[in-house]
């Protein structure tokens, strides 16, 4: 198990040091949305280019702790180029990963039944965050910001 945790830590650090899809997109046509986690001081700005029901491109800037920044990098890789239904499903799956059983963290073995870690790929690296509830807000910041941006785009059509 410790090897797996080492691997997860490696993935998080790698995305923190070399964030994917870093930068900005021209607005318009891209949609810009900002998120802030006052508990930790994390900030993220997400640029979304949605065309024909597909998230054609996503770029982001921001700063903050390693969890918030690596989570946004991991997110961008997981949703870029995907149909919006799939993006939404990935958001839901990640939020589920971050919310399961805060009250029964000791029963780690039961978690795998509820969230299929294989479907999550590298996102699974962030599962350890739920053991530190104060960091969950760091991990979900980019995801909440993405969801808000998609809602704004949907309501503006
Ligand atoms: Zn943070």
Domains and CATH numbers, the chain: 2-156 (3.90.1010.10)
What is the per-residue pLDDT for 121? 87
Ligand 1 center from residue 75 Cα (angstroms): 15
Q: Which residues surround ligand 1, an ion (CB under 5 A)?
A: 40, 42, 65, 68, 138
pLDDT band at 31 (very low <50, low <70, confident <90, very high): very high
CA distances, 136 to each of 15, 59, 67 (Å): 17, 22, 9
Ligand 1 center from residue 53 Cα (angstroms): 31
- Contacts for 98-106 with beta carbons within 8 Å, 24 or more apart? 98/126, 98/129, 98/130, 98/136, 98/139, 98/140, 99/130, 99/136, 100/130, 101/130, 102/130, 102/133, 105/130, 105/131
pLDDT band at 141 (very low <50, low <70, confident <90, very high): very high
Task: Give the residue-averaged pLDDT of 117-133.
Answer: 86
Instruction: Give the residue carrying structure tokens 């790929």.
Output: 121
Pick the more confident residue, 120 or 25.
25
Number of Cβ within a 10 Å radius of residue 144: 16
Strand partners, 36: 43
Q: What is the pTM of this model?
A: 0.88
Asked whether residue 36 carries a pLDDT value surpassing 80, the answer given is: yes
């Amino acid at each position: 198990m410790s090897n797996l945790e080492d691997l997860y830590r490696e993935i998080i650090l790698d995305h923190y040091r070399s964030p994917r899809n870093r930068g900005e997109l021209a607005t318009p046509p891209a949609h810009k949305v900002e998120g802030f986690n006052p508990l930790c001081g994390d900030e993220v700005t997400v640029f979304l280019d949605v065309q024909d029901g597909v998230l054609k491109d996503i770029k982001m800037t921001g700063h903050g702790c390693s969890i918030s920044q690596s989570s946004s990098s991991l997110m961008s890789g997981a949703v870029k180029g995907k149909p919006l239904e799939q993006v939404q499903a990935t958001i839901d799956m990640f939020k589920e990963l971050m919310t399961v059983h805060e009250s029964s963290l000791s029963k780690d073995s039961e978690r795998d039944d509820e969230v299929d870690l294989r479907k999550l790929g590298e996102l699974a690296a962030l599962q350890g965050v739920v053991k530190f509830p104060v960091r969950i807000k760091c991990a979900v910041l980019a995801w909440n910001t993405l969801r808000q941006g998609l809602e704004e785009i949907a309501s503006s059509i």
